[in-house]
């Protein structure tokens, strides 16, 4: 997977620019607030996932412009491809074209262009709570399995409807509104939950194998990481939980059961990493998990994804920084950095949303 060129128009603070990265390593260098991350975000959006910075996509449009547009030209390992993304300022609605053909569903863009992003928030994968680890899993699996993304989208839509029914029932002080109408929503949730949990477990098993090898190599065999996902439940088990605890959910005010509550367990040398690993060790695990994500993406597509490292070199010590840079040789890498990076790579200066 090689990104040949990205064209930006009225995207964030970028009025107009063309990025032509090296097929190896490209460093985007500049002070904070100049737009380095905007250039990287523009590449990542073509991977078929949402922005890693905002849930409101109208924010992607430069202030005062009617729309934002990105064009990507890339080689997917077999042939040259191109994609176009456009967002309207008023609604934030997204439009996509693949080789000139309109794509109407987000899930249909998945797998055409693949990218692995590593940003400062990912350094908290181990330390933060379960939602951070679920987001990591969902983003990684969605890029390699469009059916997973479709199940996840349907599940989240049904969950939102079920929670709205609970809130309405409480507001109207009418328990029967929820108790008598919950079953259809519970049935749909249970069906998708089984699919999601099984795919999460399968992916986690493969991720654990890769991450263990990478962390062992990073620490010269001194440290071992374990990553596991809770045992997936069947559709019948999820349905039972969702139909036998309705009164509890009414009291709580939201749905208490389902894959939105699942956890990814991470251990270091057999101990819970969140509690016992040092900050440096937690960052080593996060780094191993992100590199492992790239390895699994290669297994899926036959080609390495594009690696995007957003301002993380300053967050890593020299040993981890060098491991990261050496560990991704043979891949296309785009790095943003406020500091000067000692490298023979292509270096581009960013000032005020412009490439210098």
The pLDDT score that the predictor gives to residue 313 is 78
Contact partners, residue 212, CB within 8 Å, separation at least 6 = 224, 225, 226, 227
Measured distance CA(113)–CA(122) in Å, rounded: 21
The pLDDT confidence band at residue 55, using thresholds 50, 70 and 90, is low
Q: Which domains does the chain show, CATH number per domain?
A: 1-114+305-356 (3.40.50.300), 123-300 (1.20.1050.90)
The crossing angle, in degrees rounded to 10, of helices 146-171 and 130-144 is 140
DSSP classification of residue 305:
P
pTM, whole model, 2 decimals? 0.85
User: Maximum CA pair distance of the chain?
Assistant: 68
The pLDDT confidence band at residue 4, using thresholds 50, 70 and 90, is very high
The pLDDT score that the predictor gives to residue 1 is 85
Q: Measuring CA to CA, which residue among 114, 92, 84 is closest to residue 7?
A: 84
Q: What is the pLDDT of residues 130-181, one digit of tens each?
A: 888 998 999 899 888 888 988 999 999 999 999 999 999 999 989 889 999 9
Task: Indicate if the pLDDT at residue 343 is higher than 70.
Answer: no
Task: Indicate if the pLDDT at residue 105 is higher than 80.
Answer: no
Q: What is the pLDDT of residues 295-330, one digit of tens each?
A: 998 988 788 999 999 888 777 778 777 777 776 778
Task: Indicate if the pLDDT at residue 56 is higher than 80.
Answer: no
Task: Indicate if the pLDDT at residue 48 is higher than 80.
Answer: no
Contact partners, residue 266, CB within 8 Å, separation at least 6 = 125, 126, 133, 225, 226, 227, 272, 273, 274, 285
How far is the CA of 84 from the CAs of 63, 65, 99, 197, in angstroms? Answer: 20, 18, 8, 33
């Amino acid at each position: 997977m090689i990104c040949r060129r990205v064209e930006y128009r009225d995207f964030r603070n970028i009025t107009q620019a063309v990025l032509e990265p090296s097929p190896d390593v490209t460093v985007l260098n500049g002070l904070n607030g100049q737009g380095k991350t905007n250039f990287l975000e523009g590449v990542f959006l073509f991977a078929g996932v949402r922005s890693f910075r905002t849930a409101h996509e109208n924010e992607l449009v430069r202030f005062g412009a009617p729309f934002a547009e990105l064009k990507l030209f890339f080689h997917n390992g077999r042939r040259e491809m191109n994609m176009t993304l456009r967002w309207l300022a008023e609604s934030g609605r997204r439009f996509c074209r693949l080789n000139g053909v309109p794509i109407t569903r987000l899930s249909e863009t998945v797998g055409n262009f693949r990218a692995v992003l590593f940003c400062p928030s990912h350094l908290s994968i181990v330390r933060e709570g379960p939602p951070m680890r679920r987001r990591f899993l969902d983003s990684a699996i969605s890029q390699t399995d469009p059916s997973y993304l479709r199940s996840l989208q349907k599940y989240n839509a049904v969950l939102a409807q079920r929670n709205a029914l609970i809130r309405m029932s409480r507001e109207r002080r009418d328990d029967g509104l929820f108790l008598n109408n919950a079953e259809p929503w519970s049935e749909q949730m249970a069906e998708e939950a089984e699919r999601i949990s099984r795919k999460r477990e399968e992916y986690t098993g493969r991720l654990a194998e890769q991450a263990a090898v990478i962390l062992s190599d990073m620490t010269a065999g001194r440290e071992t990481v374990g990553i596991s996902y809770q045992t997936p439940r069947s559709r019948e088990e999820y349905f039972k939980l969702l139909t036998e605890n309705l009164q509890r959910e009414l009291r709580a005010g939201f749905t208490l059961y389902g894959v939105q509550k699942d956890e990814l367990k991470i251990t270091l040398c057999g101990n819970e990493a969140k509690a016992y690993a040092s900050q440096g060790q937690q960052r080593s695990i996060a780094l191993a998990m992100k590199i492992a994500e790239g390895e699994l993406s290669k297994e899926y597509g036959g080609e390495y994804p594009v690696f995007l490292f957003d301002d993380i070199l300053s967050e890593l010590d020299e040993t981890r920084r060098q491991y990261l840079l050496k560990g991704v040789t043979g891949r296309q890498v785009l790095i943003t950095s406020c500091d000067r990076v000692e490298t023979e790579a292509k270096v581009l200066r960013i000032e005020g949303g412009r490439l210098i």
